Amino acid sequence: MDPGGYFIVRGTEKVILMQEQASKNRIFTFKNDKEIVSEVTCISAERKSRLLLTTNKRNQVWIVLSIVLFFFSHIFFSNIQIVVKHNVFPKDGISVFVLFKAMCGLSDRDITGLILRNLEPEEEKEYFKLLLPSIEHHVELEINSEASALQYIGTKITLSKDSNKPAMALAYEVIYNSILTHIPVVNDCFYPKAMFLAFMVRRLLMAHMDPD
């Protein structure tokens, strides 16, 4: 075989070509030209989909917030909101805490606990600061339950063939069939998907804390 992968087999010229294929069902967090993103290409026996986490900048405001979860108050400046992007969602994406609520109806405290579990106290405080704008956003939208989150997401999905379905039913079906498709849903429970999403959020926060 000559250098470059060229060779001859039974009088026929052959060449070896390199084929690049995306890794399946693994989280990749990286910085592109504009922003830090965390993404996963989900492949199951029936479907393939791609989920992307990124950040939108909100109006810059000073936030004064007391959270029972940590029993202390923070005064700080933050304008990063984490959003989920998928081809069934609007171009600007869906707030990640809204998707968490739609998946399992957990409280903000429980969702935050999934994301920040096993961190050292000082690290936990810094990571929590980055999460606050996302929590604040879904509070502003008055989304405080699984039903209200499903209703909100359902109104944002534009699938012409399902346009006559109720918004909640449409959102539930999309989460079941299109979001993190490599994770099976057992007994209509989305909690394993929520845990995977929490790990993606954590990876994104880690990249924001240490971009290098």
The pLDDT tens digits for 59-103 are 433 333 333 334 334 444 456 889 999 999 988 899 999 999 999
Q: At 100, list the tokens.
A: 């968490």
pLDDT band of residue 20 (cuts 50, 70, 90) is low
Q: At 161, list the tokens.
A: 């063939």
Q: At 173, list the tokens.
A: 């079906």
**pTM, to two decimals:** 0.79
The pLDDT tens digits for 134-182 are 998 888 999 999 999 999 999 998 765 556 789 999 999 999 999 999 9
The pLDDT tens digits for 91-138 are 889 999 999 999 988 999 999 999 999 888 888 888 998 898 899 888
Pair 171, 150: CB distance under 8 Å: yes
